[in-house]
Structure 1
Amino acid sequence: MGFYDLQAARDEYRLSCGNGGMNHDLVLTFMDVQTRLIEPICPHFAEYVWRKLLKKEGCVVTAGWPASNEPDLVLKGANKYLQDSIVLMRKLLQKQLLGSKKAAKKGAQVTAVADSNLIGLVYVNEQFDGWRAHCLQILQSIFDEQTSCFSPLMLRYLLN
């Protein structure tokens, strides 16, 4: 993951936390990883962050490169969906709080709602049922795991 990807991940996390604030330990872990990554480019700044802000012993240059796991693509897709949903919910909330443009032109009062009074529920199905499950079964039957593709002949047959 590159520098800008790491920054984007932090920004997404900050956005999803909203006014609740970010997790302190996770922010420190982010700072640790970021400091190790920028050490070859900005060694003096990295040493400053390592010792003064992170309060770590020794030098960042001897700390080693940060380790990571293979990316979980399913989790990445779920996160993308969740981030898009958060943006949509915030837009809907903003629209509700501000009211329509017509109401604003007529001088309608905008009432502020305290963050503690805002509640959002997200329901997640663990499995599909009915026609959705049937469609997924059909797609699964024509999917070739060796080539990671759908069988073109079967797909053409189903679409005709």
Structure 2
Amino acid sequence: MLTARRAGSSVRPVTTSATDLETRVRAYMDACTSGDAAAVASHLTTDAVHYFPPDMYDGPWRGAVPIGEKWAEKVRTGRSAWTVDAIAVDAARRVAVCEWTHFKQAAGVLLRGTEWYEFDGEGLIAEIRAYYASPQDTALARLELGGFDYAGRGYPEAPRAAVGG
């Protein structure tokens, strides 16, 4: 079973099976809905990063404590709640994808999307990349996550040349 790091305690290795990683994502989403900032932070590495589409929530958010505080604020002010609708996990790569629904109850908005999760060796969430189901903004030439270093991580900047062309 996965456990969060605690201040002043030694870090002990934990298993990171597919079940463990799925459990972590579900527990993180439940913590977000609870509005408990410390509970949210307990599922994240201290230097975790949460990326969003441009101009969403003044992202990216950096650090377990700030991420927890920001989601707790969304629950307090917007009556936000989340459901986990589907999860796919690759335990060998320590990644997961979660399809979710975000209920922004105060605004009467239902937002659907997915998040890509990367975990550290202890099974804590180190990075979250949020993608929203919404129309393409035709005013933008690049539709990417704000603050995410695509080129630095080796993502393509142009299509591959056609084979045999």
Normalising to structure 1: TM-score of the pair? 0.22
- From the CA coordinates, give the structure whose radius of gyration is larger: 1
Normalising to structure 2: TM-score of the pair? 0.22
> Which is richer in helix?
1
Higher relative contact order (CA 8 A, sep 6+): 2
